[in-house]
DNA sequence: TACTCGTGGAA
DNA sequence: TTTCCAAGAGT
């Protein structure tokens, strides 16, 4: 009887070593670590899903300056939320964030304090719910983000494919078993910090690792192989025609994309499949043939995404004397004709600009 | 279960 | 130039 009780009530070797390391080497100056209330931790955790810390920081700062609390976010228009998100990717996160803010504000403004209550929120899964409970409320709830997966897989020698269900079950069990009853917030930050700064995917610093003494992957000289990589097929190629339609005074015609799929809810130049004709596009947007001043096709270019290649065939349709100035920023920002400020984005500007310049140089 | 959803940095 | 993948979740 005594062994089980002792294991549950006292931090194990793993958690003890990790916490001691965290006190000396952990990250403590990240923006969401100051005033870590549920709202700030929630927003940061959503932004950090599949997104590196350095990319998130400026977005988090701008977001908090504009939406300091859940009521401010709930009162905003989706367009503005997406605008502050544009460039960060995975826009369903922003739509879910806005939807959840409205739900919470309508329910009085307080976040759920249970795992189940948090997981019921759109965009909040098991790991994000665990992170909110641990980081904002110091509750002993496990997380299993990419860092924790790597640390636990190596420490316990879990060598199955990192996305397989059996592997995830095993890793979640280890995550639960190591999470201490006290200092849950520090422990949660610690396992992420170890994974991010020492137990990295490539070139891990095992010589400085507080867990090295009992790390199974290190003992077996298999640190480089664990976690094993999921096998992938070849990327498919998708084709699209992009219509850049300009009208006076120097405005671009855009369409708001539906709230699903790629760039859902953002504004972009009309994109059609490869068989869409000029006549069909003009008809759809109410453009009379007589008003078309110029009609050109630019060379196609490829933009590679994580999961597919997109071969884009740019088309340019000018409706009056003034040519449209396409912003030469680092991103392809388009303009919502109903609003003064830029909203949304499409593919990076560079590739399309280079393509158009070959025609309009 | 397997697929979808983005972007920027690194190799 | 291409591939990989990082504080995952939804369907």
The tens digit of pLDDT for each residue in A211-249 reads 999 999 999 999 999 998 877 778 888 888 888 777 665
Coil/strand/helix, residue A58: helix
- Mean residue pLDDT of chain A comes to 84
- Contacts of residue A181, defined as CB under 8 A and 6 or more positions apart, other chains included, come to A8, A9, A11, A140
Higher pLDDT, A237 or A147: A147
Angle between helices A13-25 and A184-197 (to 10 degrees): 70
Q: What's residue A329's pLDDT?
A: 37
Task: Using the predicted structure, report yes or no on whether residue A11 has a pLDDT greater than 70.
Answer: no
Domain end (from A171, A190, A219): A219
A279 labelled catalytic: no
Q: Is A131 helix (H, G, I), strand (E, B) or coil?
A: helix
Q: Which of A35-49, A239-253, A257-271, A308-322 has the highest mean pLDDT?
A: A35-49
CATH of the domain at A351: 3.90.79
Query: Do A76 and A98 form a contact (C-beta atoms < 8 A)?
Result: yes
Q: Cα(A150)–Cα(A193) distance, rounded to whole angstroms?
A: 12
| Res A9 pLDDT > 80 | no
- Closest residue to C3 (CA, C1′): A306
Same domain, A163 and A285: no
Q: What is the pLDDT of residue A105?
A: 98
Tokens linked to A73: 């976010």
Name A171's Cβ contacts closer than 8 Å, sequence gap at least 6. Answer: A144, A148, A149, A152, A153, A158
Q: Is residue A2 part of a domain?
A: no
Q: In this model, does residue A106 exceed pLDDT 90?
A: yes
pLDDT given at position A231: 76
Is residue A108 predicted with pLDDT exceeding 90? yes
Residue A125: predicted pLDDT: 98
A95 part of a folded domain: yes
Number of structural domains (chain A) is 2
The average pLDDT across A181-204 equals 96
Q: Does residue A198 surpass a pLDDT of 60?
A: yes
Query: Of all protein residues, which has its CA closest to the C1' atom of B7?
Result: A89
Are A134 and A173 members of one domain? yes
CA distance A359 to A297: 8
Q: Which nucleotide is nearest to A164 (CA to C1')?
A: B1
The answer to whether position A230 is within a domain reads no
Q: By residue range, what is the domain housing residue A278?
A: 237-360
Q: Is residue A139 part of a domain?
A: yes
- Same domain membership, residue A125 and residue A20: yes
**Long-range contacts of residues A202-211, Cβ cutoff 8 Å, at least 24 apart:** A204/A154, A210/A17, A210/A18, A210/A20, A210/A21, A211/A14, A211/A17, A211/A18, A211/A151, A211/A155
pLDDT band per the 50, 70, 90 thresholds, residue A296 = confident
Residue A244, domain member (yes or no): yes
Q: What is the pLDDT of residue A3?
A: 30
Nucleotide showing the shortest C1' distance to residue A50 CA:
C6
A182, A35: one domain: yes
Residue A356 has pLDDT above 80, yes or no: no
The answer to whether A261 and A332 have CB atoms below 8 angstroms apart is no
- Token output for A202: 């490539």
Residue A321: predicted pLDDT: 46
The answer to whether residues A82 and A139 belong to one domain is yes
- Nearest residue by alpha-carbon distance to C1' of B5: A90
For the ranges A39-53, A155-169, A201-215, A274-288, which has the lowest average pLDDT?
A274-288
For residue A133, how many other CB atoms are within 10 A of its CB? Answer: 27
Least trusted range by pLDDT, from A13-27, A116-130, A173-187, A331-345:
A331-345
Instruction: Retrieve residue A357's tokens.
Output: 């310049």
Calculate the angstrom distance between C1' of C6 and CA of A4.
37
CATH number for the domain harbouring residue A43: 1.10.340.30
Task: Work out whether strand A309-318 and strand A301-304 pair parallel, antiparallel, or are unpaired.
Answer: antiparallel
Looking at A164-168, A294-298, A345-349, which range is the least confident one?
Answer: A345-349
On chain B, which bases lie within 7 A of the protein's CB atoms? Answer: 1, 4-9, 11
A150 and A36 belong to one structural domain: yes
Assess contact for A162 and A153: CB atoms under 8 A: yes
Mean pLDDT lowest among A6-10, A83-87, A238-242, A258-262: A6-10
> Domain boundary at A172, A188, A219, which?
A219
For residues A119 and A178, give the distance between their C-alpha atoms in angstroms, rounded to a whole number. 21
Residue A232 domain flag: no
Name the closest residue (CA) to the C1' of nucleotide B3: A307
Model confidence pLDDT, tens digit, residues A303-354: 788 888 888 888 888 776 444 544 433 334 444 333 444 445 555 555 665 6
- A193 shares a domain with A102: yes
Question: Separation of CA A104 and C1' C5 in angstroms?
Answer: 33
How many angstroms separate the CA of A55 from the C1' of B8?
Answer: 8
Q: Which residue has the tokens 């100051």?
A: A34
Q: Is A280 within the bounds of a domain?
A: yes
Same domain, residue pair A206 and A250: no
Which residues touch A160 (CB under 8 Å, ≥6 apart)?
Answer: A166, A167, A170, A228
A198 CA → C4 C1’, Å: 19
| pLDDT above 90: residue A152 | yes
Domain edge (last residue) among A193, A219, A245: A219
| Residues A40 and A173 occupy one common structural domain | yes
User: Which residue has better confidence, A117 or A238?
Assistant: A117
CA atom of A277 to C1′ atom of C2, Å: 32
> Has residue A169 been placed in a domain?
yes
Residues with CB under 7 A from strand C: A 27, 30, 32, 44-45, 48-53, 90, 92, 96, 121-129, 131, 145-147, 150, 189, 192-193, 195-196, 201, 229-230, 232, 234-235, 302, 304, 306
Q: What is the mean pLDDT of residues A27-40?
A: 96
A183 CA to C5 C1' in angstroms comes to 30
As a whole number, mean pLDDT of residues A182-195 equals: 97
Residues A322 and A215 in one domain: no
CA distance A58 to A44: 11
Q: How long is the CA A318 to C1' C10 vector, in angstroms?
A: 40
Instruction: Answer yes or no: do A209 and A326 share one domain.
Output: no
Closest residue by C-alpha to C1' distance, nucleotide B4: A261
Whether residue A203 sits in one domain with residue A274: no
User: Of residues A146 and A243, which shows the higher confidence score?
Assistant: A146
Q: Residues by CB within 7 Å of nucleic chain B, which ones?
A: A 50-52, 54-55, 87-92, 165, 202-203, 261-264, 305-308, 330-331, 345, 347-348
Region A115-131: mean pLDDT is: 98
Bridge partner residues of A256 (DSSP) = A267
pLDDT of residue A325: 47
């Amino acid at each position: 009887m005594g062994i089980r009780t002792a294991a549950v009530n006292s931090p194990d070797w793993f958690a003890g070593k990790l916490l001691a390391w965290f006190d000396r080497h952990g990250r403590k100056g990240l923006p969401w670590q100051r005033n870590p209330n549920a709202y700030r931790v929630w927003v940061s955790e959503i932004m950090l899903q599949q997104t590196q810390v350095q990319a998130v920081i400026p977005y988090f700062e701008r977001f908090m300056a504009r939406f300091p609390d859940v009521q401010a976010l709930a009162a905003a228009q989706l367009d503005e939320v997406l605008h502050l998100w544009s460039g960060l990717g995975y826009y369903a996160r922003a739509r879910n964030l806005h939807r959840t803010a409205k739900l919470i504000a309508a329910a009085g403004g307080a976040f759920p304090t249970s795992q189940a209550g948090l997981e019921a929120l759109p965009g909040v899964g098991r790991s994000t719910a665990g992170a909110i409970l641990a980081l904002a409320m110091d509750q002993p709830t496990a997380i299993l983000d990419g860092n924790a997966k790597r640390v636990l897989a190596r420490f316990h020698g879990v060598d199955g494919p990192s996305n397989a269900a059996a592997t995830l079950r095993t890793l979640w069990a280890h995550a639960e078993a190591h999470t201490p009853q006290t200092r849950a917030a520090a422990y949660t930050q610690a396992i992420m910090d170890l994974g991010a700064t020492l137990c990295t995917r490539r070139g891990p610093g095992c010589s400085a690792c507080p867990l090295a003494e009992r790390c199974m992957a290190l003992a077996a000289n298999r640190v480089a192989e664990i976690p094993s990589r999921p096998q992938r097929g070849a990327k498919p190629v998708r084709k699209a025609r992009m219509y850049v339609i300009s009208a006076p005074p120097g405005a671009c015609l855009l369409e708001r994309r539906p709230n699903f799929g790629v760039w859902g809810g953002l504004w972009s130049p009309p994109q059609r499949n490869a068989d869409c004709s000029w006549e069909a596009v003009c008809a759809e947007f109410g453009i009379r043939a007589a008003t078309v001043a110029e009609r050109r096709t630019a060379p196609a270019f490829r933009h590679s995404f994580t999961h597919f290649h997109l071969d884009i065939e740019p088309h340019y349709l000018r409706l009056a004397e003034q040519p449209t100035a396409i912003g030469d920023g680092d991103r392809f920002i388009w303009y919502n004709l109903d609003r003064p400020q830029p909203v949304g984005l499409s593919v990076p500007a560079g590739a399309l600009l280079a393509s158009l310049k070959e025609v309009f140089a």
